[in-house]
Amino acid sequence: MSNTLTHLDDQGRANMVDVSDKAPTRREASAQAWVQMRPETLQMIQANGHPKGDVFAVARIAGIQAAKRTHELIPLCHALLLSSIHVELKACEPDRVQITSTCRLTGQTGVELEALTAASVAALTIYDMCKAVDRAMVIGDIRLLSKQGGRSGHFQWEDAQ
């Protein structure tokens, strides 16, 4: 891991990292987010009893769309041609949803922000769809689980603790 902030130039100004000299490599990143809610809200989601439709399906699509548009949200991110985006939502009784996203590509820069954005926006979508019945939901524990590829090598959340 580097001890320098790569998005700052030698005079401390914000700067998009130049990756033009880097060789394309296979890269993958996984991220996670959690949404805690009332047990009744989770039961409604699981029973597909929401009047707006399948909450998990909409959140999954929102997460995929968000990963593809990360460069429009995070100012110094590169626009990437992602080869795979997977968003998984899992009900965890009695009152939580676990969201895990994985992004892949062969390219010159990593996909950590895309995976984090996918998990975050999927969580926000659950909140948006369910806020009419549960405004006390809590989105949290958003973190990078793993990344592979690139100069900095492999990262695994368990190794960071």
List active site positions.
128
* The pair of three-digit structure tokens given for residue 13, joined into one six-digit string: 């100004």
77 is in an annotated binding site: yes
71 is in an annotated binding site: no
| Dist. CA 115–CA 134, nearest whole Å | 26
Of 117, 124, 126, nearest in space to 67 by CA: 117
| Dist. CA 142–CA 116, nearest whole Å | 7
Of 8, 13, 30, 20, nearest in space to 109 by CA: 20
Task: Tell me how long the chain is.
Answer: 161
| Dist. CA 77–CA 46, nearest whole Å | 35
Whole-angstrom Cα Rg for the chain: 17
| Dist. CA 75–CA 86, nearest whole Å | 23
78 is in an annotated binding site: yes
Of 95, 101, 93, 87, nearest in space to 138 by CA: 95
Which residues are annotated as part of the binding site for substrate? 76-78
Residues annotated in a binding site: 76-78
